[in-house]
Structure 1
């Protein structure tokens, strides 16, 4: 009798593997377990940020240090880091130019609500790297997206944002919606949610231009907010003509187009937007833009800036609802300037692309060799294996492809073999510091696990 399977893996075999790998992990890190038992109780549920509970191991490791693409934990294990802070450290941990910039600025003050000469340099570099936008600085991409949407609503006089089913633009209320039986609804699971978010948002499926056109035709959409590639899920690539269609539809219906490059900055220098010649009205990028220092940037074209200035001059005096006290501080500018000029280089991206291609090819070869009904997707330096056939077309298909039980077992198994990937999905990044031997170790570990699961 055939055994039930999850993503092609017999359930009893998967359970046995997961149990063994969890036990192996727990036995190998007694110092972390002891330290957590003694000190984690001061935090809610034992973690300083709630999503740290999403790691699938029996308990968290505690990091002693990180350098380049390597982490060392307090139990003495060296770990090849392909998570890289979920993109925050995409160029490696503590690149030398960034570390020097931090040390230099630390002696000059951390925040004083005034610009510096380095701020002017950073502005020039932002335009050179990403395009001719009028820039503003935020601390997180969530904030940057929130502020960009305020501008879009202000200049269009319209209430709604159009987003794609399964999207993620940070913890932004406006985008916490999804499709249910073809209707826009509040996303399930939101904590303490009391507002009807559908009053300010409409959801379409990614790659569905007909659905976008129908939503825009109602005349109440201020902006389309999208990533160039759907990430933070099982990754979904745009179909040919999709982005050109979005641009044309936004123009035809008087909506603005906002591109959020926070994850797809992996695509190459200037992000997916510059590599593929996209022309958004507003542009957002965060995470690694300042090498891991909490920083995000958002900008608008001259045309949008002119419209906003007219609106801003006429609005009543009072709080704008945009900006936070610690944003645009001198440490951010020091890190922005160092990253944009000395870290985020063409050479760095060339190394990352080559390494990611090596990784994607190795993972796909293992999948093919063992007959797994899975596939691999790559966007520049970003690689994912997806535990389902592909390619995927939209957020609904991406949600169906997500296999938490299989992924959790794989993540723990890979960590036991010295390789760390992102906890939320099967995302891996190759940094300029990632060595070919680290990539080969990850491929070998992946192959070893698949050999057992699909024996």
Structure 2
């Protein structure tokens, strides 16, 4: 933001214009969604802040949008409005809502029981599918990527005998405690905003900037890092792509230091068949994916090399009686395994990925064109089927640069403007996903809605109308 109040600018947009647009869009939203308004009022009785999960209040709407149903790339709200959905459950529905193969498998399993604490016939098939698709030979199942990351990091500590992990500034790995550290003026700190945190997480985790190989090498030299955990592309802090050669050096340095490498592909599974790891030939010791892995049924997987699996099995044999702190009662339930099998066999196919990639490339090119047409200093980044427009003229290199581009007031106005034109993108940053069900018409609708919203924000007077 710069200048006095009249000329203050946020991300290239005059603040006065931005706020007038946001106010107008809130009025349009309220007028068009009386049933959601009534349900939001009713939901205040029984839920914290009126929602079943507190982050549902992070959306930019005046009150929550209540969904009636979703199918493929579309959502319909309780007021009957249809949306081209590019949020796709923040990746959980990346392969489309109610994917028919997953629905069929889940429906069939429902008649045979949801959970038994014992394997089913699907278990014998899913392990082989995971190995064939993602490359690592040995696997385990969890309910969420948070759980999978937490369990994998425990295994890394058990196998190496080392106490600490290393993360990159701006990372996101669910709600794993020791990942909630950041850099402030070059010093490791607990991330602000956490509730109920009672220990100094920097005692358990080192943090350096993504793409900073000298800092990584220096941190590993201490000899106390059990595992480096990272996304191959930072995605929850505005998209940060790796420098050329970064991943090769990351792998070389971790091996030289005796440190394990965990690649978390919960978001980067958008990269292509087998994820970023397979597409780019990475060689992690541990690998995690949640959200979309079972077509939206709550499931995550974590894989490991034979060497890590051997160390894990030995640690299990050597431990004293008691709880291993790895695993939860509902993990690897029968429903998850059925959905995993269907998704891996019939949905996460090379053909579907090729379709997603082609449409995402076309969409990113069109969005870049619209940003340039109104003269905004932004750019569009993409990793496979995942796209984000970023409030910076040049690509980002690390978490600190990404944090500087995070402009919530501008994001929220844009998101609400798109929503009122029947387009939904993620509430966090400006993330969009393309699914196998996404059509050319969906993509054209997003481009047109973005163009209209940007013109309005730049004072080029065209009217965003109610849906």
Deviation at 1:132, TM superposition (A): 2.7
Q: Distance in 1 between matches of 2:150 and 2:210?
A: 21
Deviation at 1:388, TM superposition (A): 2.0
Equivalent residue in structure 2 for 1:224, among 224, 228, 245: 228
Match of 2:259 in 1: 255
Match of 2:45 in 1: 41
Q: Distance in 2 between matches of 1:126 and 1:185?
A: 37
Equivalent residue in structure 2 for 1:353, among 333, 357, 371: 357
Match of 1:93 in 2: 97
Match of 1:32 in 2: 36
Equivalent residue in structure 2 for 1:330, among 331, 334, 348: 334
The 5-angstrom pairing of residues 352-391 of structure 1 reads 352-391=356-395
The 5-angstrom pairing of residues 291-330 of structure 1 reads 291-330=295-334
Provide the TM-score with structure 1 as the length reference. Answer: 0.99
Q: Distance in 2 between matches of 1:40 and 1:339?
A: 36
**Structure 2: tracts of 5 or more residues without a match:** 461-467
Answering whether residue 176 of structure 2 is matched by residue 172 of structure 1, we say: yes
8 Å contact kept, 2:75–2:82: yes
8 Å contact kept, 2:417–2:453: yes
Deviation at 1:358, TM superposition (A): 1.4
The 5-angstrom pairing of residues 174-323 of structure 1 reads 174-323=178-327
8 Å contact kept, 2:84–2:442: yes
**Structure 1: tracts of 5 or more residues without a match:** none
Equivalent residue in structure 2 for 1:448, among 442, 447, 452: 452
Match of 2:464 in 1: none
Equivalent residue in structure 2 for 1:108, among 100, 107, 112: 112
* Greater Cα offset, 209-218 or 126-135: 126-135
Match of 1:147 in 2: 151
SS in 2 for 1:327: coil
Q: Distance in 1 between matches of 2:122 and 2:317?
A: 29
Q: Distance in 2 between matches of 1:53 and 1:388?
A: 27
Deviation at 1:182, TM superposition (A): 1.2
The 5-angstrom pairing of residues 52-67 of structure 1 reads 52-67=56-71
Deviation at 1:282, TM superposition (A): 0.5
Match of 1:122 in 2: 126
Deviation at 1:40, TM superposition (A): 3.1
The 5-angstrom pairing of residues 403-418 of structure 1 reads 403-418=407-422
Equivalent residue in structure 2 for 1:161, among 165, 172, 180: 165
SS in 2 for 1:42: coil
Deviation at 1:39, TM superposition (A): 3.0
Q: Distance in 1 between matches of 2:28 and 2:394?
A: 33
Deviation at 1:312, TM superposition (A): 2.3
Could you report, residue by residue, the CA deviation over 1:149-182 in whole angstroms, capped at 9, with x for unpaired residues? 0011011111110000010000110101111121
Q: Distance in 2 between matches of 1:38 and 1:107?
A: 33
Deviation at 1:211, TM superposition (A): 0.5
Could you report, residue by residue, the CA deviation over 1:11-54 in whole angstroms, capped at 9, with x for unpaired residues? 11111111101111111101110122123321011010000000
Provide the TM-score with structure 2 as the length reference. Answer: 0.96
Deviation at 1:355, TM superposition (A): 1.1
Q: Distance in 1 between matches of 2:309 and 2:36?
A: 51
Match of 1:73 in 2: 77
In the alignment of these two chains, the number of paired residues is: 455
Q: Distance in 2 between matches of 1:76 and 1:307?
A: 55
8 Å contact kept, 2:43–2:51: no
Match of 2:463 in 1: none
Q: Distance in 2 between matches of 1:67 and 1:314?
A: 49
